[in-house]
Amino acid sequence: MANKLKEEKKVPILPGPKSIKDIIRTEKYIGRSNYVGLYGIAIASGDKNYIQDVDGYWYLDCLTGASCNILGYHTGIEEIYTSQARVMQHSCFPYAPNEAALELAKMLIEHSPGHYRKKVLFGLSGSDSVEAAIQAMRKYTKRFGVVSFKYDYHGSTGLSQPASGFGLDKGIFPHSKYFRHFNFPVTLQQEEKTLEKIEKAFQTGTVGGVLVEPIQGDAGIVVPEQGFLYSLYQLAAQYDCLFMVDEVQSGMGRTGKLWAIEHYGIEPDLLIAAKGLSAGYAPISALVGRQEVIDTLDPAQHLFTYSGHPPSCKVATFVLDRILKDNILNSVVKRGENLKSKIKDIQSKYPDIIKDVRGVGLMLGIELNIKNNPTLTQTFCYLCLQRGVFFGYFGPHNNVVRIEPPLTLTEEEVTTVTDVIYQVLDIIAQNKVSGEVTEAVKKYCLGIGMTENK
């Protein structure tokens, strides 16, 4: 493979001047909590699976606007949105039903796991739909306790933030015994320990439900030990606790099934969808689940002015239909397997740099060995960016490269990704990272600083 590498072309130092202007304006106008900033580049447009920054540089998009733009750009979905907006942009579902929302709800019910009567509650973000799940769980079980996992990310609101396992709620909410975070097990031994501890929590009689990402996303693409989720599901049922699955990142075909939980043969009581639900065209989310649980919430306990927004619902129905009909799921499986196996090959040549390659479908992660270089992941990703591939970097120590491209990734683009990874590892392995790059990484690659590391 090495001899197939393209010659190093002259690569730009990023961000370019227009992006830098936008960083200055961001610092001036936007509250610090609203951005974490990966590289400092400002994005202007997109086409197919590529995005362009304001300075005119193009990148193969492996972050997809935080895993939302699952069908790429210039998809034609613009027309779906505007054709509905032209006849009725908003009618406020809380006051009057609209057909677009009803059609989407029916489709979500039909295409989500669970052989029982289901209903839908619409929202605007992953966070608020997680909120809805916890609200409904609490009212239904009459128990406040939520079991979730370290480094899970569930959102930024009153219930979703403390349910997350990053400690971002510190200093905002008083510590609550009702949110318990457990290690997310990746080995059989860890699984046994975790289940034991969770069972003890269940035995207190205060826990009403488990909230889990089937594959942790922001934690750094962590795939649980194979049997864990099913055992957890059975344990929850044994203690009459609800099983709530957060598919905000892993859903909508990302792992090769419409919902990641389908890999595990589980029928969750509640399922949360957002991000890719609208392929990035509209802020919309949904909670789908057992009718009797969802209907414990009283009128107006979970509604928003924009819930069931007609153009957003029309778009989401179209996106679901495309994923189910266009052979996209098969393609995700094929491309995902190929990409992962190629990166694993690369890992075997750079075992000191790449610690692990993991994930399912097109939800992949490369864990780097940051022991001797805490900013290795940022440097790696920055060097890839210079060569036209846009990755995110996540994990508790910014140690994992996240690969979540559009589900429409082509075979040729798989090769582009692996060629660039190869080139960049070569630079890192030969200690050829320039001072300019190191400087830019220090200045612009902020990443998600974990509160516990500050």
Ligand X SMILES: Cc1ncc(COP(=O)(O)O)c(C=O)c1O
Element (H, E) at 362: none
Query: Would you give the distance in Å from CA 62 to the centre of its chain?
Result: 12
CB of residue 153 to ligand X, shortest distance in Å = 5
Report how far residue 445's alpha carbon sits from residue 393's, in angstroms, rounded to the nearest whole number: 10
Measured CA to CA in angstroms, residue 444 lies from 90, 203, 379 at distances of: 39, 48, 11
Residue 276 tokens read as 């890719």
- Which of residues 202 and 264 has its CB atom nearest to ligand X in the complex? 264
Within 36-182, strands assigned E span 43-47, 50-53, 58-61, 118-123, 145-149, 179-182
Q: Which residues contact 268 (CB under 8 A, 6 or more apart)?
A: 113, 114, 233, 243, 244, 245, 261, 289
Nearer CB in complex with ligand X: 22/213: 213
- How far is Cα 276 from Cα 72, in angstroms, rounded to an integer? 11
Residue among 53 and 246 whose Cβ is closer to ligand X: 246
Min separation Cβ 352 and ligand X, Å: 30
Closer by beta carbon to ligand X, 140 or else 153? 153
Residue 393 makes CB contacts below 8 A (sequence gap 6+) with: 38, 377, 378, 380, 381, 399, 400, 401, 402, 445, 447
Two tokens at 387? 């060569």
Whichever of 51 and 245 has its CB closer to ligand X, that residue is 245
Neighbouring residues of 353: CB distance < 8 A, sequence distance ≥ 6: 368, 369, 376, 425, 428, 429
Question: To the nearest whole angstrom, how small is the minimum distance from the Cβ of residue 213 to ligand X?
Answer: 5
Residue 167: which region, alpha, beta or left (left: phi > 0; alpha: psi -120 to 50)? left
Q: How far is the CB of 154 from ligand X (least distance, A)?
A: 5
For residue 334, how many C-alpha atoms fall within 13 Å in the half-sphere facing its CB? 10
- Judged by beta carbon, residue 156 or residue 369, the one nearer ligand X is 156
Minimum distance from residue 451 beta carbon to ligand X (Å): 16
Q: How many Cα atoms sit within 13 Å of 351 on the Cβ side? A: 1
Nearest distance, CB of residue 249 and ligand X, angstroms: 4
CA 298, CA 119: separation in Å to the nearest integer?
Answer: 14
Question: Least distance in Å: CB of 279 to ligand X?
Answer: 14
Residue 155 C-beta: closest distance to ligand X, Å: 4
Element containing residue 289 per DSSP (H, E): strand 285-290
Instruction: Decide whether 42 or 159 has the Cβ nearer to ligand X.
Output: 159
Residue nearest ligand X, CB atom distance = 126
CB of 127 to ligand X, least distance (A): 3
Residue with smaller CB distance to ligand X, 309 or 387: 309
Rg, the chain, Cα only? 22
Give contact residues for ligand X (rule: CB under 6 A). 66, 125-127, 130, 153-156, 213, 217-218, 246, 248-249, 274
Tell me whether residue 54 or residue 71 sits nearer to ligand X (CB atom): 71
